[in-house]
């Protein structure tokens, strides 16, 4: 049996703005039901890529398939199968939340029940309030609701939680998890590594228009063979750390020395690089005076 066709397929995608090449040949695939994250610093090319997939921008080169179609032609059928949460919409202000959802639902052939969407987006209590009275976080929930009400197969979320307070972020994460449970495919962009780690099955890290790493968030760090061993120095009371590819030998050496002194190794830990370590390393500016204060792994490397 053939494997399920990817929900999104991108091959050698390129986009130039005049002389400037913002996207420089990227490849990735998103499987149906997967939550895929595009991570990268400002200006990396995330929004450009997503908007090409949504059909809002034209590519300069490469192949793009979204639910088996080329979004550049803006096929009507495709637009009914995708949901888009833009960075901010706020397009309904003078009608109630329920009315906004019901209105938007009419554009779709098989919309979800409005009450169900209110529940999914956590907006039941605000259902009969005017949209303009919603807080920023609640407005964002309405954006989510609008993206869901057409019951799309694929949902694009561009920086879904930027500007949220911690509680609103967690609520938005719950919405994304509900989408995942419903079997939807989600493509999101984010600057927040904890968000990518919490939500994404796989991520691609983009820098200057190229993918510099991709894979499940946990594996991006775990694929590294370098471990960081940290402990509190008995002499100075300060934390010390070393990077090693052989933590067994280093721990043996450290613990033997501590036992020989009749002491202990306080605050001992052995860690692999986190997604954040990998991200910072891959997206760091070329070596400069600012390199070096980002995390313990980088500092430890300098100390060995």
Write out the residues near ligand ATP by the rule CB under 6 A. 17, 22, 40, 42-48
| Smaller CB separation from ligand ATP, 46 or 141 | 46
| Smaller CB separation from ligand ATP, 24 or 232 | 24
Minimum separation from the CB atom of position 260 to ligand ATP (A)? 52
Minimum separation from the CB atom of position 47 to ligand ATP (A)? 3
| Integer Cα distance of 43 and 67 in angstroms | 27
Q: Is residue 214 within 8 Å of residue 204, measured between CB atoms?
A: yes
Closest by CA to 23, choosing from 38, 6, 5, is: 38
Residue 182 contacts by C-beta under 8 Å, 6 or more apart in sequence? Answer: none
Minimum separation from the CB atom of position 275 to ligand ATP (A)? 17
| Smaller CB separation from ligand ATP, 44 or 229 | 44
| Smaller CB separation from ligand ATP, 44 or 148 | 44
Minimum separation from the CB atom of position 209 to ligand ATP (A)? 7
Q: How far is CA 146 from CA 82, 151, 222, 281, in A?
A: 11, 10, 38, 37
The greatest distance separating any two alpha carbons of the chain, rounded to the nearest whole angstrom, comes to: 76
Minimum separation from the CB atom of position 204 to ligand ATP (A)? 12
3-state secondary structure 17-85: ECCEEEEEEEEEEECCCCEEEEECCCCCCHHHHHHHHHCCCCCCEEEEEECCECHHHCCHHHHHHEEEE
| Smaller CB separation from ligand ATP, 171 or 206 | 206
| Smaller CB separation from ligand ATP, 59 or 126 | 59
* Secondary structure E strands in 139-253: 154-158, 185-190, 202-207, 210-215, 227-232, 239-244
| Smaller CB separation from ligand ATP, 44 or 101 | 44
Minimum separation from the CB atom of position 203 to ligand ATP (A)? 14
Residue 155: phi and psi, rounded to 5, are -125, 130
Minimum separation from the CB atom of position 158 to ligand ATP (A)? 8
Q: Is residue 247 within 8 Å of residue 235, measured between CB atoms?
A: no
């Amino acid at each position: 049996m053939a494997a399920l066709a990817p929900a999104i397929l991108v091959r050698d995608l390129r986009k130039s703005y005049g002389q400037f090449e913002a996207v420089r040949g990227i490849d990735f695939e998103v499987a149906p039901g997967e939550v895929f994250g595009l991570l990268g610093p400002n200006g990396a090319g995330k929004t450009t890529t997503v908007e090409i997939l949504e059909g809002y921008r034209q590519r300069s080169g490469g192949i793009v398939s979204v639910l088996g179609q080329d979004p550049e032609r803006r096929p009507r059928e495709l637009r009914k199968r995708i949901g888009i949460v833009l960075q901010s919409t706020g397009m309904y202000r003078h009608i109630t939340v329920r009315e906004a959802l019901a209105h938007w639902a009419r554009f779709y052939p098989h919309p979800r029940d409005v009450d169900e969407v209110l529940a999914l987006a956590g907006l039941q209590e605000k259902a009969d309030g005017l949209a303009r009275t919603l807080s920023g976080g609640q407005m964002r929930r309405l954006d989510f609701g609008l993206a869901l009400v057409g019951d799309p197969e694929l949902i694009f979320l561009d920086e879904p939680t930027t500007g949220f307070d911690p509680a609103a972020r967690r609520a938005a994460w719950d919405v994304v998890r509900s989408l995942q449970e419903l079997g939807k495919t989600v493509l999101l962009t984010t600057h927040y590594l904890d968000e990518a780690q919490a939500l994404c099955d796989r991520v691609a890290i983009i820098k200057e228009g190229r993918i510099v790493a991709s894979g499940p968030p946990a594996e991006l760090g775990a694929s590294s063979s370098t471990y960081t061993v940290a402990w509190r120095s008995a002499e100075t009371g300060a934390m010390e750390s070393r990077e090693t590819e052989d933590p067994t030998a280093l721990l043996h050496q450290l613990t033997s020395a501590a036992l020989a002194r009749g002491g202990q190794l306080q605050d001992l830990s052995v860690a692999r690089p986190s997604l954040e370590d990998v991200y910072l390393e891959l997206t760091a500016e070329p070596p400069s005076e600012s390199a070096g204060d980002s995390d313990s792994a980088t500092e430890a490397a300098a100390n060995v």
